[in-house]
Amino acid sequence: MTMRKRIPHILIVTIIYLSLLALRFYQTKPPEYPMGKQIIIQGTLSEEPQIRGKTQRFSLSSVPITTWNLPEFHYGDRLRVMGKITQETKTVMLFPEITFIEHTKGCLIGKIITLRERVIEFYQRSLPEPAASLLSGIVLGIKANLPNDFYNNLKTTGTMHVVAASGMNVSIVAGFLMAVFSKYLGRKKGLVLSSIGILFYATLSGFSPSINRATIMGFLFFLSSYLGRQNLGLLSLGLASTIMIFVNPGVVYDIGFQLSVSATIGLILLQPIFGSTFKKMAKIPFLGEAFMTTLAAQIATLPILLVNFGRLSLLSPIINALVLWTIEPITIFGGLGAIVGLVFEPVGRLFVYLCWGFLILFIEVVNFFGRIQLFSFSFENVPILFGVGYYLLLIGVLLLYYQSSHLEHSERSSDSPAGGER
């Protein structure tokens, strides 16, 4: 089948795919709640609430809710919320009356959450602050106990994404499990057990959108490897995003989901370009690959960050390159320490202590650049149209690049001795 014959088929499939997504989104469109009037919302938490200081935040029926940190709510809790949508903050509900309908305690998810709390307490007994909270953030995605100064420095330097369980963590966990299980149990059994392992890790991390996306992509990768088929990054990302949107259409409004998908697209499409263009820089140990990764992710997520947060740090790729390489040893040693520490704490602490040096390096780098705030800019009221124009321009540049690369590759193939007619 020639490329000309393939294009109409691709267009037809794309139109059907987008139509189904639009229909699903329209069917589950959240209701428009009246401003300033008392309303009642009832539902189940689809991810772990984010605790910050004395408050916790979560969404229920697509309504962002901020309430006090006690009592704590968890993924899977069924709640009844009564309060007002404030006029100033539009669809946000502040400190409403919340009633438990059903707890997760007693079920499997509840037991895993209890296990997660034990891991956090173990980290806090083993390390001083902010190292203990940073370790909890990197391994489990918990930012509750981070000191305010350090928390603000993370935002200023563009490294907040690191202190959250994300696709990177899922990749590290999946790779580690696959290496161990495959060595002792064989490849196919290793794939099955690794899939179970990343599902357990996703539950332990609270099912954030980035974790869900990476977990589904991990399953697709393991399935394609099990069946002996080649895995395609963009296809896996598209399928993972589609599954998430069909299950919960409101996820498209979640900034974490938007950043996760955009960053992954950047890594798939932009990082190879930087790697081939700046070959010498890419070969620098630790820093080279991390710099390319961060630059690709930042370019892909820039409009989302500016529209929602209004902050930009030009040094963010360099700062991320200085700390990004520490995430793998922190995740592996921290994870092993938690597993062993729950059984025999003194031995588990030995693994946690192996993280300490990496954690101190991370903290010092972030605090140093956070204090000087060099090349850090703030913007107010960045319009959404800026993001639309930015992405259209980026898509155009990528199409031109890959088209020119394809033509160049075709010309080289035709000029080579093996490129003639057969």
Q: DSSP secondary structure string, 54-109?
A: TEEEEEETTEEEEEESSS---TT-EEEEEEEB-SSSTT-EES-EEEEEE-STTSHH
Quick: pLDDT tens for 257-299. 787 788 888 888 888 887 777 666 656 665 667 677 778 888 8
pTM (two decimals):
0.69
C-alpha closest to that of 21 among 251, 260, 261, 301 = 251
- Note the pLDDT of residue 365: 92
Residue 8, token pair as written in the block: 């109409």
- Note the pLDDT of residue 363: 92
Buried b (16+ CB within 10 A) or exposed e, 87-100: eeeeeebeebebee
- Note the pLDDT of residue 360: 94
Contact between residue 79 and residue 100 where contact means Cβ atoms under 8 Å apart: yes
N residues, the chain: 422
How far is residue 138's CA from residue 121's CA, in Å, rounded to a whole number? 15
Residue 179 CB neighbours (<10 A): 11
The residues pairing with 38 across neighbouring beta strands, listed in sequence order, are: 84
What's the maximum distance between 2 C-alpha atoms anywhere in the chain? 77
Opening angle at CA 302, ends 299 and 303, nearest 5: 130
- Note the pLDDT of residue 27: 57
- Note the pLDDT of residue 21: 59
The residues pairing with 79 across neighbouring beta strands, listed in sequence order, are: 43, 100
Residue 168 CB neighbours (<10 A): 22
The residues pairing with 80 across neighbouring beta strands, listed in sequence order, are: 42, 99
Q: Which parts of the chain have pLDDT scores under 50?
A: 1-8, 230, 418-422
How far is residue 153's CA from residue 97's CA, in Å, rounded to a whole number? 34
User: Would you list the DSSP string of 366-422?
Assistant: HHHHHHH-TTEEE-S---HHHHHHHHHHHHHHHHHHHHHHHHHHHHHHHHSGGGS--
- The amino acid at residue 44 is T
Taking phi over 0 as left and psi of -120 to 50 as alpha, with beta for the rest, 76 belongs to: left
- Residues near 61 by beta carbon (within 8 Å), at least 6 away in sequence: 30, 31, 41, 42, 43
- Note the pLDDT of residue 3: 42
User: Would you list the DSSP string of 162-197?
Assistant: GSS--HHHHHHHHHHHHHHHHHHH-HHHHHHHHHHH
C-alpha closest to that of 221 among 203, 239, 202 = 239
Contact between residue 294 and residue 305 where contact means Cβ atoms under 8 Å apart: no
- Range(s) for CATH 2.40.50.140 in the chain? 38-104
Topology (CATH) of 38-104 = OB fold (Dihydrolipoamide Acetyltransferase, E2P) (2.40.50)
How far is residue 94's CA from residue 64's CA, in Å, rounded to a whole number? 9
How far is residue 311's CA from residue 304's CA, in Å, rounded to a whole number? 10
Contact between residue 320 and residue 299 where contact means Cβ atoms under 8 Å apart: no
Contact between residue 60 and residue 43 where contact means Cβ atoms under 8 Å apart: yes
